[in-house]
């Protein structure tokens, strides 16, 4: 049984694979101050809640964009599962050519998502949009190579900046307003943030498609469902994309795994 863990700036996603099938999965809030024992006890408890004992886990793979938490989760794997995890990094085998000018600058999460998108939602060209802390766009060309992409502030970050810097604008729930032309300040903020991000997404996707010659668009991340409901630009939402990418990387890199 394989434990796959994707550590993001806001959310940690963990899932279990058995015989190539995804079983239980969980999303946790990323806490930079939590210790390895705390994370370990939490993961072990989640496994037991699914009636799975930790000693059934015989492989682990970790992707991390929060440097301070990588050694924490390596310690979790060693202490609680007696495993050295496969860690996604610039030297790991991915089966995908990285055509970024400086490949070591590409976030591990971007490569993991790209690998999964190509295998699960191909054929290429493909565009992956990860609606997380940042809204990240990644392009895979017709040859299946990773080209690069675009990074914009995430929906949550943009909203927090607005509330922090505009003293007369009260914090509101980021729900879909009844209309684009807001009749109240709350509706106006909701329209500007939600529909504004739809416009941003549609605009960047259109530019990517023009350069790629088309492409299917895969959405993932916390805001993917809400944004995808407002646009035809996103063809499919796959909230487990990173876990499937981690499975493929583990299969290519773990000793003794075909």
Contacts of 108 (CB under 8 A, 6+ apart): 63, 64, 65, 88, 89
Domain, as residue range, for 230: 103-239
Both 55 and 119 in one domain: the answer is no
pLDDT tens per residue across span 198-243: 999 999 999 999 999 999 999 999 999 999 999 999 999 999 999 9
Catalytic residue among 31, 37, 109, 138: 109
CB atoms near residue 137 (< 10 Å):
22
Percent of the chain clearing pLDDT 90 (strictly above): 88
For 8, the token pair is 């993001």
Cβ-based neighbours of 200, under 8 Å, separated by 6 or more: 135, 152
Structure tokens at 41: 């006890």
Instruction: Provide the domain count of the chain.
Output: 2
Is residue 170 included in any domain, yes or no? Answer: yes
pLDDT of amino acid 170: 78
Q: How confident is the model at residue 257 (pLDDT cuts 50, 70, 90)?
A: low
pLDDT at 57: 97
3-state class (DSSP) for residue 123 = coil
Is 118 among the domain residues? yes
pLDDT tens profile 87-96: 998 888 999 9
109 noted as active-site residue = yes
- The pTM assigned to this predicted structure is 0.92
Question: Is 42 inside any structural domain?
Answer: yes
* Residue 97 belongs to some domain of the structure: no
Q: Are residues 61 and 112 in the same domain?
A: no
Q: DSSP letter at 19?
A: T
**According to the model, what pLDDT value does residue 69 have?**
97
């Amino acid at each position: 049984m394989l434990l796959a863990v994707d550590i993001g700036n806001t959310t940690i996603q963990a899932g279990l694979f058995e015989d190539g099938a995804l079983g239980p999965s969980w999303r946790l809030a990323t806490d930079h101050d939590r210790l390895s024992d705390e994370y370990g006890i939490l993961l072990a408890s989640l496994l037991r809640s699914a009636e799975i004992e930790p000693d059934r886990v015989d492989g682990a793979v970790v992707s991390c964009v929060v440097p301070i938490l990588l050694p924490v989760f390596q310690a979790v794997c060693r202490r609680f599962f007696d495993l050295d995890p496969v860690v996604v990094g610039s030297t790991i085998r991915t089966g995908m050519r990285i055509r970024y000018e400086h490949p070591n600058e590409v976030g591990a999460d971007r490569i993991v998502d790209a690998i999964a998108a190509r295998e699960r939602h191909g054929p290429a060209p493909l565009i992956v949009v990860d609606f997380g802390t940042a809204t990240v766009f990644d392009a895979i060309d017709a040859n299946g190579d990773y080209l690069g992409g675009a990074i914009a502030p995430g929906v949550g970050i943009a909203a927090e900046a607005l509330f922090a810097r505009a003293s007369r604008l009260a914090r509101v729930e980021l729900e879909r307003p009844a209309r684009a032309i807001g009749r109240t300040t709350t509706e106006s903020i909701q329209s500007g943030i939600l529909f504004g991000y739809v416009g941003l997404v549609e605009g960047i996707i259109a530019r990517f498609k023009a350069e790629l010659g088309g492409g299917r668009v895969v959405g993932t991340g916390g805001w993917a469902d809400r944004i995808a409901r407002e646009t035809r630009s996103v063809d499919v939402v796959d909230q487990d994309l990173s876990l499937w990418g981690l499975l493929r990387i583990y299969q290519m890199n773990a000793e003794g795994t075909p």
